[in-house]
């Protein structure tokens, strides 16, 4: 049997000279991996995250590696419109504009629908779907005015297509992100902005373990063709592709980042 471990691919300058913003980008999850991959591809990056301490540590680490002139961060809760605006303003001030937005912020949880409270439902929808809407709206307004094109990449989930017990709120939010992606893409094409999404199935990061059980994670991993979760940077690779000119004819698409085939 061949080794199913992935080989890290070095950067190729796909985003050299571009300005990017990533939400929920602190720490070791998909957002943090995406920020690193964007930097490795030559972009200057502004990171947003609701966790100020973790964000500060991530910005310091990336700044030490890639240069403090290319990395900045600002605490941002995507449920707060003023904080979203401030995050995008920072990208314009520090890096001369906005070329790429990665909407990574999301909130999970597990609750059977019959037992789910309104508060649980609204918390997941407000962050995962409405937060993506707020960031997308703010970015498209800026990109339309600037007239330089750009790319948005949203983080959806295979649960936007598939059913899983206890995930009605999260699945509904992610299906909404897919629909939002398609509609935004049709509108933004007129001013040269592409809008796509990724739909990971299972990516290994510490935050996931806090929202589900080890038994379920093991079962989900067994369903994958490789018998393991994706590394966060494997999802980030696809995000980079969608942000780059290699996907110049793609818009309104949701790309599954999964080895699970029901």
User: Catalytic amino acids?
Assistant: 170
Question: Edge to edge, what strands does the sheet with 19-22 contain?
Answer: 71-75, 44-49, 19-22, 100-103, 150-155, 193-200, 254-257
Q: 100 pairs with which residues across the strands?
A: 20, 151
Confirm if 50 and 79 have CB atoms less than 8 A apart.
no
Find the radius of gyration of the CA atoms of the chain: 17
What's the CA gap between 182 and 171, in Å, rounded? 17
DSSP 201-222: S-B--HHHHTTS-HHHHHHHHH
Q: Taking each helix axis as running N to C, give the angle between helix 118-125 and helix 168-188, from 0 to 180 degrees, rounded to the nearest 10.
A: 30
What's the CA gap between 173 and 12, in Å, rounded? 34
Segment holding 29, helix H or strand E: none
What's the CA gap between 131 and 81, in Å, rounded? 9
Both tokens of 60, joined, read: 């310091």
Q: In this structure, are strands 71-75 and 100-103 parallel, antiparallel, or unpaired?
A: unpaired
What's the CA gap between 26 and 4, in Å, rounded? 28
């Amino acid at each position: 049997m061949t080794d199913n471990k992935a080989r890290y691919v070095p950067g190729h300058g796909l985003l050299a000279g571009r300005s990017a913003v990533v939400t929920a980008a602190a720490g070791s999850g998909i957002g943090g991996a995406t920020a690193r991959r964007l930097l490795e591809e030559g972009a200057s990056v502004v990171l947003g995250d609701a966790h100020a301490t973790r964000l500060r540590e991530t910005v310091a680490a990336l700044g030490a590696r890639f240069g403090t002139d290319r990395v900045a961060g600002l605490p941002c809760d995507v449920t707060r419109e003023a904080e979203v605006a401030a995050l995008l303003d920072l990208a314009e001030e520090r890096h001369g504009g906005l070329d790429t937005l990665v909407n990574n912020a999301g909130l999970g949880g597990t609750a059977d629908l019959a037992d789910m409270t309104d508060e649980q439902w609204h918390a997941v929808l407000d962050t995962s779907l409405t937060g993506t809407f707020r960031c997308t709206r703010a970015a498209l307004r800026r990109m339309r005015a600037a007239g330089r094109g750009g790319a948005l990449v949203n983080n959806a989930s295979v649960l936007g297509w598939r059913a899983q017990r206890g995930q009605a709120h999260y699945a509904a939010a992610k299906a909404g992100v897919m629909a939002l992606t398609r509609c935004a893409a049709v509108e933004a094409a007129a001013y040269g902005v592409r809008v796509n999404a990724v739909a990971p199935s299972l990516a290994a990061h510490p935050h996931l373990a806090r929202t589900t059980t080890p038994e379920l994670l093991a079962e989900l991993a067994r369903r994958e063709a490789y018998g393991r979760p994706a590394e966060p940077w494997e999802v980030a690779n696809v995000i980079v592709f969608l942000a780059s000119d290699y996907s110049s004819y793609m818009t309104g698409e949701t790309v599954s980042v999964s080895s699970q085939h029901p």
